[in-house]
Structure 1
């Protein structure tokens, strides 16, 4: 099969990693393809991508990266959300995306453009160049369900979600507290809300939506979307391709050689005895919150491995505190790890599921509060970490949830469910599994013509 697939990810490192994993999956089963990745540089920190890009370039020669010219932003933007700035940069990128696609087309046939939801402005470029455009949704089908239905909710009220003080009823989902929706869409007067609503309206206009999930993980949401119930005013719903779980087996973005010390430490611990705490590349806590976590961990009596940007000074007699970074996939798959306190980023949740590790859900940003509801209420794969109104989590709550996860009937129930989903994930990605079939159908969709 000749031709190129162009991937256009959001600049955030987690989105880039997921998109590159999709490229690797395509190459594994369709090795004659070439993968071109368009790279955007943002004027604020989203986690350094350069080491990751360099490593992929060195190890996977069929994936090449095309850096788009840097966009400079005016200071007129009033939205407090990074997402708004990302949308604006990606809107301003359109002429460069057009230029890149035309340039790539001179040397090979561009079979498809696969883009992140943040990259919605590029849909018009693909239409202009007659290139099939697909979305790659880097969160789960449940959040896709909610985004597709957002325009319907928007038309049903004049209030912002933050002011509704009610549960939102999405088709195919458990009730979602309105304040648990992603922060950028809580205020309908915020520019971020307008941009995301626009993306929601454009999702059904694509050639298809690829989702990093698998059928048995989110059966209700997947069926609801496929049946068209999330877009009641659209004539059709684009095909849904659930091709996951895509997991980066080595997603290091740091060159810190000390990271493997934590694996050595885990080797010295008893089987299924350690709680792992990690909160993503943007997960930051106040000094007071760090102290509460430290006290809660000590009081829980459990061994722990805690990854934190600025560790507290106190001695941690029962655990290991790692500054900044740890090899998360390797840690989760280590025999001594029995629980995972996570920020509920979708990549991290999938990594835990594939490792068979139950979770305590402690969301911090983006759509993570929504993910907590789904992981706890719909999937039964996590216990909730509950915070006060100002977002603060007490040492008592940290202690309670860790004890519950490691030594209670409810914790054991979550553990059994996660192990069942681990087996289901392996089956989905195997020959003849649902995700392999979905990948084949996706490729067929742009090769038929």
Structure 2
């Protein structure tokens, strides 16, 4: 290929937690590895200042295209976040196909990279002759569960939250049944069957790119390094976060307030971008970098986890849905950079229990030990991305594969 470059098309599903790692992956490939990217984005709020600022920060080799929003009333009122995402992606597919067809008439593409909610576009890639890769913006542990889910559901016929023993996947921390991903908890639901169908199709991908790094999940990394005919190659390219705050972040009013607080005196609380108390986007990365922050009370969305880890901020976990309970188990029992309040039999957590755990980190014996443990994955994350690091080498490997492929 001329200039030994490659051109990729990316498809991102709605939500800033999906877009941030996607844009960072695109930026890294463009700036470090000289890859041209056409980034197709399903945005749930294309006029959001934070969204527009993120697009503005992209390097010139990344061409971002915002796909049309779904027609009015096409998404049922009160639909779950997952349903909203899937319906938005399905609505966009004709526009995606038109864009890819137009691209192929003008340039030569090496691959089409989708995320897990954009899986319906995989068939389109096949029709166009494009190698299709999955970008998986969650940890190795969650991917391991996806790969083993079809076998797992055959081994146990009851409700997973009532599973008597933890699930033991190769290299993973033991996972209680109630911490398995949300779709597996409802065997009679459409979500359950859709999830299993997706899991069985993972083997059809050309490769899987994961937003993690080997040193964070060493037990799972080892079996994933081994060639396996039952699954595609897996590349850990993370941690992918925004390296520099945008102007919107730097001037946010919350930072001025943090400047007036004592060092390591503030608990930062955030439960993601779906449903919220603060009605504007918070500059999370800038907040977590601030010297006054000691602790992050988080829902354990993976983008939030990665931003906390790369800044060495200990966490307290209050997972809500999707794979967040699984992430909490990894952080608590594996990486040991997080404390988790005890739940009642109902699954609820009392305010007194939350307060008790927060005090352990802010004032108790756990304070310094947790902070020290949080520094270890922080340093390992930085090293993984340096030339010669585990994630850098994995990125070079897949980039070389793309540079040898032309459609």
TM-score (norm 2): 0.89
Matching residue of 1:280 = 272
Indicate how the Cα distance of structure 1 residues 163 and 273 shifts in structure 2: closer, same or farther if over 3 A, else same.
Answer: closer
User: What is the deviation of 1:79?
Assistant: 11
**What are the residue-to-residue correspondences of 1:165-314 with 2, within 5 Å?**
166-227=165-226, 235-249=229-243, 260-284=252-276, 308-309=277-278
- Contact 1:39/1:68 (8 A) holds in 2: yes
Matching residue of 1:124 = 123
- Contact 1:250/1:327 (8 A) holds in 2: no
Q: Are 1:404 and 2:360 matched, yes or no?
A: yes
**Higher RCO structure (Cα 8 Å, ≥6 apart):** 2
User: What is the deviation of 1:390?
Assistant: 4.2
In 2, distance between residues paired with 1:83 and 1:145?
21
Once the two structures are overlaid, the 10-residue window that deviates more, 120-129 or 80-89, is 80-89
Q: Are 1:13 and 2:7 matched, yes or no?
A: no
- Contact 1:160/1:186 (8 A) holds in 2: yes
In 1, distance between residues paired with 2:314 and 2:75?
44
- Contact 2:314/2:370 (8 A) holds in 1: yes
**1:272-317 CA distance string (max 9 Å, x none):** 2222222211255xxxxxxxxxxxxxxxxxxxxxxx43xxxxxxxx
Matching residue of 1:331 = 287
- Where does structure 1 lack aligned partners over 5 or more consecutive residues? 229-233, 285-307, 310-322
Could you say what secondary structure the match of 1:87 adopts? helix
**1:333-360 CA distance string (max 9 Å, x none):** 1122121111111111111111111111
Which of 359, 376, 379 aligns to 1:423? It is 379
In 2, distance between residues paired with 1:256 and 1:448?
39
**1:140-198 CA distance string (max 9 Å, x none):** 11111111111111222333434545422222222212122222331122111122212
Matching residue of 2:109 = 110
In 1, distance between residues paired with 2:32 and 2:200?
32
- Contact 1:272/1:337 (8 A) holds in 2: yes
Matching residue of 1:51 = 49
In 2, distance between residues paired with 1:169 and 1:116?
26
In 2, distance between residues paired with 1:107 and 1:194?
39
Matching residue of 1:446 = 402
> Alignment length, in residue pairs?
401
**1:4-54 CA distance string (max 9 Å, x none):** 2111111122101111111001011133x321112235xxxx566743443
User: What is the deviation of 1:326?
Assistant: 2.8
Indicate how the Cα distance of structure 1 residues 173 and 59 shifts in structure 2: closer, same or farther if over 3 A, else same.
Answer: closer
TM-score (norm 1): 0.81
- Where does structure 2 lack aligned partners over 5 or more consecutive residues? none
- Contact 1:279/1:342 (8 A) holds in 2: yes
In 1, distance between residues paired with 2:169 and 2:77?
30
User: What is the deviation of 1:388?
Assistant: 2.9
User: What is the deviation of 1:71?
Assistant: 4.2
